[in-house]
Amino acid sequence: MKGFASLLAATATALSLGLGGAQAADPVRIVVVTHGSNTDSFWNVVKNGVADAAKAMSVTAEYRNPSTGDLTEMARLIDAAVASKPAGLIVSIPDPDALGNAIKGAVAAGIPTVSINSGSEVREKLGVLFHVGQPEYAAGLGAGKQAKAAGVKDGLCVNHEIANAALEQRCQGYADGLGIKLTMLDVGSDPTEIRNRISATMTQHKYDGVLTLGPTGADPALAALQEMGTAGKVHFATFDLGPKIIEGIKAGSIAFAIDQQQYLQGYLPVVALALHARHGLLPGGDILSGPGYVTKDSIGMVEKLAGTVR
Task: Kindly state the DSSP code that residue 110 receives in the 8-state scheme.
Answer: T
CA distance 133 to 216: 19
pTM, two decimal places: 0.79
Do residue 51 and residue 141 come from a single domain?
A: no
Do residue 154 and residue 219 come from a single domain?
A: yes
pLDDT score at 308:
59
- List strands edge to edge, sheet with 256-259: 184-186, 155-159, 209-212, 235-239, 256-259, 292-294
pLDDT score at 7:
42
For residues 237 and 255, the answer to whether their CB atoms sit within 8 Å is: yes
What does the DSSP assignment read for 252-274? TSS-EEEE--HHHHHHHHHHHHH
pLDDT score at 39:
85
On whether residue 303 sits in a domain, the answer given is: no
Say whether 116 sits in a helix, a strand or coil.
strand
pLDDT score at 267:
98
CA distance 98 to 94: 9
Do residue 121 and residue 154 come from a single domain?
A: no
Do residue 107 and residue 178 come from a single domain?
A: no
pLDDT score at 305:
60
Distances (CA, A) of 74 to 66, 89, 101, 103, 164: 5, 13, 12, 11, 13
Q: How many domains does the chain have?
A: 2
Do residue 249 and residue 270 come from a single domain?
A: no
Sign of CA dihedral 261, 11, 111, 124: negative
Neighbours of 279 (CB within 10 A): 13
On whether residue 180 sits in a domain, the answer given is: yes
CA distance 244 to 184: 23
Neighbours of 175 (CB within 10 A): 21
pLDDT score at 309:
57
CA distance 134 to 288: 5
Do residue 108 and residue 22 come from a single domain?
A: yes
Give average pLDDT by consecutive 10-residue segment, the chain, 310 residues.
46 49 69 93 92 97 96 98 98 96 98 96 96 95 98 97 91 98 94 97 96 96 97 96 92 96 95 97 94 90 64
For residues 88 and 236, the answer to whether their CB atoms sit within 8 Å is: no
What does the DSSP assignment read for 33-87? E----TT-THHHHHHHHHHHHHHHHT-EEEEE--TT--HHHHHHHHHHHHHT--S
Tell me the backbone φ, ψ of residue 124, rounded to 5 degrees: -65, -40
On whether residue 280 sits in a domain, the answer given is: yes
pLDDT score at 76:
98
Residue 182 sits in a domain whose CATH number is: 3.40.50.2300
Cα dihedral value 189, 192, 198, 204, nearest 10: -140
Give residue 173's domain range.
136-259
pLDDT score at 42:
86
